[in-house]
Chain A
Amino acid sequence: MRKVLALSLSDAKNISRDTILILILFGPVAIFFLLRYLIPVATDYLQAEMAFDLTEHYLYIVCFMSLIPTQLFGFIFGLLILEERDEEIIAFIAVTPLQKTGYLTYKLLASTLMSFAFFFIVVYGTGLTTIPLKYASILALLVAFEAPIGSLFLAAYAENKVEGMAYSKILGLMYIAPVIVFFFDTNWHYFAAFLPPFWVAKAFIAAKADAQIFWIYIVLGTLVHAGIILFLLRKFLNNQR
């Protein structure tokens, strides 16, 4: 516990002394305010002025927006890992009792847990849509698994923080998957099944409909997420040697 507290405090200090990381941290807060206060206003406006019913798209909006904080948390921890690798802090931690395994476990769990918690704020704190509670925790976990993918993608492929910023944009491309799922409802959309957010979107729709196929999407989604996490983890560890 003492080690986890030390690592958390060190991350908090690192973030608080980096303007970019502070700005990124405001992202999830901005998402909450957007969903909680601006979307209802926009709904009323669109209904009144254009007779467009935005509420029909609330599930899509909540699904998409629940993924953004996850991506941002993954991005923050990815940049922290890159910085700690550049300064060779990880090399030193590897020869302390925490070792590299403990360090990576903490970093990946921290981004996952933050994302997990924020899922409930986005889904239940904004009041736009409801997902049956029996599905919420497991869906939140699948969403949260996007965070370690983001962190490890940056850590495995970017040489430094500047490259990390560029790679985050490439990572952002996988969020095309929910668009495909929601707006191209044919079997062709399974071509995007290798993208982790694809399964999040499928699970969202199934959970909302209280359909039992939800569990199949969760299993397949977990396999895709786990496979990508393991691949990136191996790539990162090989780079370290």
Chain B
Amino acid sequence: MIEVEKLHFTYPGNSEPTLKDINFTIAEGEIFGFLGPNGAGKSTAQKILIGILKKYSGRVQVMNHEMRDLNSSYYESIGVAFEFPNLYSKFTALENLDFFRKLYSGETEKPEELLAMVGLEKDGNTRIAEYSKGMKMRLNFCRSLLNKPDILFLDEPTSGLDPVNLRRIIEIITNLKDAGKTVCLTTHDMHVADTLCDRVAFLVDGEIALIDSPRQLKLHNGKQRVRVEFRENESLNTREFRLDNLGKDAEFIRILNEKNIETIHTQEASLEDIFIKTTGRRLL
């Protein structure tokens, strides 16, 4: 669906390139995540994929079309949600959706149904100026679905959402994947990346430092051990065991049988651990 090869990009007036030798592919029906700190080049990569920045070098093909040569019909088949909600503040939510849907020639979703999908059905006639940040984010997200796109580009889609709405958006994106849609997102939220993405790319200083599925990355970078916490004589004790032949480890079996177990966790790495280990930097 998306093929990127030897992508370099430098903003006009800058001496340093923002993206350096980027290579990746995104398959149809895949959820692909760009992770990285601010200024790493995530949004720039997305802007190239949505055709805003065309003066790149390398090959960037979406649905077999080179991005620097695309025409307006490309926008009939993609949906975009920017990081900051860009909506008419003087319009109601329904007026906003109704306006934007008319910019597409193809079949569009019903605004009322999109609002219901993100839990804004009762706020359709409220002006955006009166919306909270989370409500604007949800409206911004559902607007990207107006034209029934094949590919979705979402920049920080869960930023500013409360846990209930965070779960709602994750569920919608998962359903979109099940319906065969391709999703390319950027996020700072490791939980979102872990839950949603089939594969993630860690972008640091314009380069892809790592690219793989969250599961593979966590397993590969973690310890092949399990940690057991148990109570003994009122004190909390911790023991770690190797995962290989765990069932034959006499001490492990004894603790399971004799002690009051409180937690058992395998020691795979978290995505944030991997990021820090790979880049030496924290996510900001």
Of the residues B51, B80, B87, B104, contact of A87 by C-beta under 8 Å? B87
**What separation, in Å, do the CA atoms of A77 and B50 have in the docked complex?**
28
Cβ–Cβ contact A97 & B103, under 8 A: yes
Cβ–Cβ contact B73 & A96, under 8 A: no
Residue from A10, A89, A96 with most neighbouring chain B CB atoms (10 Å)? A96
Cβ–Cβ contact A13 & B51, under 8 A: no
Cβ–Cβ contact A97 & B102, under 8 A: no
Chain B: interface secondary structure?
Answer: loop
Residue of B nearest to A92 (CB): B86
Of the residues A2, A5, A95, contact of B80 by C-beta under 8 Å? A95
**What separation, in Å, do the CA atoms of A87 and B140 have in the docked complex?**
13
Cβ–Cβ contact B52 & A94, under 8 A: yes
Q: A18 an interface residue at 8 Å Cβ cutoff? A: yes
| Stretch among B33-41, B89-97, B228-236, B273-281 lining the A interface | B89-97
Cβ–Cβ contact A92 & B90, under 8 A: no
Residues of A contacting B100 with CB < 8 Å? 92, 96
Minimum CB–CB distance from B18 to chain A (whole Å) comes to: 13
Minimum CB–CB distance from A26 to chain B (whole Å) comes to: 20
Cβ–Cβ contact A95 & B51, under 8 A: yes
Residues of A contacting B75 with CB < 8 Å? 95-97, 99
Q: A230 an interface residue at 8 Å Cβ cutoff? A: no
Residues of A contacting B12 with CB < 8 Å? 241
Cβ–Cβ contact B102 & A87, under 8 A: no
Interface set, chain B 1-27, CB cutoff 8 A to A: 12
Cβ–Cβ contact A91 & B82, under 8 A: yes
Residues of B contacting A2 with CB < 8 Å? 102, 105
Cβ–Cβ contact B104 & A96, under 8 A: yes
Interface set, chain B 47-90, CB cutoff 8 A to A: 50-52, 72-73, 75-76, 78, 80, 82, 84, 86-90
Minimum CB–CB distance from A21 to chain B (whole Å) comes to: 11
Residue of B nearest to A84 (CB): B88
Cβ–Cβ contact A6 & B73, under 8 A: no
Given contacts A87-B87, A87-B89, contact A10 B51 (CB under 8 A): no
Minimum CB–CB distance from A95 to chain B (whole Å) comes to: 5
Q: A166 an interface residue at 8 Å Cβ cutoff? A: no
Q: A185 an interface residue at 8 Å Cβ cutoff? A: no
Q: A208 an interface residue at 8 Å Cβ cutoff? A: no
Cβ–Cβ contact B103 & A9, under 8 A: no
Given contacts A5-B102, A97-B104, A99-B75, contact A89 B88 (CB under 8 A): yes
Residues of A contacting B50 with CB < 8 Å? 95
Of the residues B51, B73, B84, B90, contact of A17 by C-beta under 8 Å? B90
Cβ–Cβ contact B103 & A96, under 8 A: yes
Cβ–Cβ contact A93 & B103, under 8 A: yes
Cβ–Cβ contact B72 & A99, under 8 A: yes
**What separation, in Å, do the CA atoms of A17 and B100 have in the docked complex?**
19
Q: A14 an interface residue at 8 Å Cβ cutoff? A: yes
Minimum CB–CB distance from A18 to chain B (whole Å) comes to: 7
Residues of A contacting B72 with CB < 8 Å? 97-99, 102
Q: A3 an interface residue at 8 Å Cβ cutoff? A: yes
Cβ–Cβ contact B88 & A97, under 8 A: no
Cβ–Cβ contact A10 & B103, under 8 A: no
**What separation, in Å, do the CA atoms of A13 and B94 have in the docked complex?**
13
Minimum CB–CB distance from B71 to chain A (whole Å) comes to: 9
Residues of A contacting B52 with CB < 8 Å? 94-95
Residues of B contacting A95 with CB < 8 Å? 50-52, 75, 78, 80
Cβ–Cβ contact B90 & A18, under 8 A: yes
**What separation, in Å, do the CA atoms of A89 and B91 have in the docked complex?**
12
Given contacts A13-B91, A94-B52, A97-B73, contact A88 B82 (CB under 8 A): yes
Residue of B nearest to A10 (CB): B99
Of the residues A6, A18, A89, A98, contact of B86 by C-beta under 8 Å? A89
Of the residues A13, A87, A94, A97, contact of B95 by C-beta under 8 Å? A13
Q: What 1/0 mask marks residues of chain A from 1 to 40 whose CB sits below 8 Å from any chain B CB?
A: 0110110011001100110000000000000000000000
Minimum CB–CB distance from A104 to chain B (whole Å) comes to: 14
Residues of A contacting B95 with CB < 8 Å? 13
**What separation, in Å, do the CA atoms of A98 and B74 have in the docked complex?**
11
Cβ–Cβ contact A97 & B78, under 8 A: no
Residue of B nearest to A98 (CB): B103
User: Top 3 A-B pairs ranked by shortest CB distance?
Assistant: A88-B86, A6-B102, A96-B103
Chain B contact residues, CB within 8 Å of chain A: 12, 50-52, 72-73, 75-76, 78, 80, 82, 84, 86-91, 95, 99-100, 102-105
